[in-house]
Structure 1
Amino acid sequence: MDRDTPRPDLQDRSTGRFGRALDLVRQRGILEPFRLVRRHGIGESSRFVARNIRYLIADRLARKWDRDNGVDTAGSIRLDGLDVVGPHRDEGNECVCTSPKSFAFIMNSLPADLGDYTFIDIGSGKSRTLLLASHYPFASIVGVEFARELVAIAKRNIERYKSPAQKCRALSVVEADAAAYEFPETPLLVYFYNPFSKDVFDVVLSNLVASLARHRRRCFVVYGSSSHSAIDWARPAIRDTGVFERLVTPPMPHFLDAVRTIDYAAFEYRPS
Structure 2
Amino acid sequence: MTQVKRAVRFALARAARMPGMQRPAFAAFARLFPDQPWQATHPFDRGLGTDTGGFVPQWLLQPGVTEADQGSPYAGCQPECVRAALASLPDTRNYSFIDLGCGKGRAMIVASEYSFHAILGVELSGGLVAVAARNAALVARAHPERTRLQPMQGDAAGVALPDGPLVIFNYHAFPRALVGRIAERLAAAASPGREIFYVYENPVCHYVLDALPGFTRWFAAKVACTDEERGRSPGDEDTVVVWRAGGPPRTAHDGADAGLRETVPGWGVELHPGLASGAGIPTSIG
TM > 0.5 between the two? Answer: yes
Structure 1 CA distance, aligned partners of 2:120 and 2:197?
15
Paired residues for 1:93-108 under 5 Å: 93-108=72-87
1:119–1:191 CA contact under 8 A, matched in 2: yes
**In percent, how many aligned pairs have the same letter?**
25
Point out where structure 1 has 5 or more consecutive residues left out of the alignment: 18-51, 226-230
Q: Which residue of 1 aligns with 2:210?
A: 239
1:6–1:148 CA contact under 8 A, matched in 2: no
1:79–1:147 CA contact under 8 A, matched in 2: no
**Structure 1 residues 10-60: Cα deviation after superposition (integer angstroms, max 9, x where no partner):** 13499523xxxxxxxxxxxxxxxxxxxxxxxxxxxxxxxxxx8xx4xx754
How far residue 216 of structure 1 moved from its aligned partner, in angstroms, is 5.3
How far residue 108 of structure 1 moved from its aligned partner, in angstroms, is 2.0
Which of residues 115, 138, 141 in structure 1 aligns to 2:119?
141
1:141–1:170 CA contact under 8 A, matched in 2: yes
In the alignment, structure 1 residue 120 sits paired with structure 2 residue 92: no
Is the partner of 1:247 in helix, strand or coil? strand
Q: Which residue of 1 aligns with 2:201?
A: 224
Paired residues for 1:7-18 under 5 Å: 7=22, 8-10=24-26, 11-12=29-30, 16-17=34-35
In terms of fraction of residues, the more strand-rich structure is 2
**Structure 1 residues 129-158: Cα deviation after superposition (integer angstroms, max 9, x where no partner):** 111110101001000100010001110110
Point out where structure 2 has 5 or more consecutive residues left out of the alignment: 1-14, 250-286
In the alignment, structure 1 residue 198 sits paired with structure 2 residue 176: yes
Pick the structure with greater CA Rg. Answer: 1
In the alignment, structure 1 residue 266 sits paired with structure 2 residue 281: no
Q: Which residue of 1 aligns with 2:166?
A: 188
**Structure 1 residues 158-216: Cα deviation after superposition (integer angstroms, max 9, x where no partner):** 01125766753221012111122232222100011001111211121122223336x95
Is the partner of 1:121 in helix, strand or coil? strand
Structure 1 CA distance, aligned partners of 2:139 and 2:155?
25
Structure 1 CA distance, aligned partners of 2:39 and 2:19?
31
2:197–2:245 CA contact under 8 A, matched in 1: yes
TM-score, normalised with respect to structure 2: 0.68
Decide which moves more: 202-211 or 122-131: 202-211
Q: Relative contact order (alpha carbons < 8 A, sep ≥ 6): 1 or 2 greater?
A: 1
1:158–1:171 CA contact under 8 A, matched in 2: yes
The amino acid that maps onto 2:242 is A
TM-score, normalised with respect to structure 1: 0.71
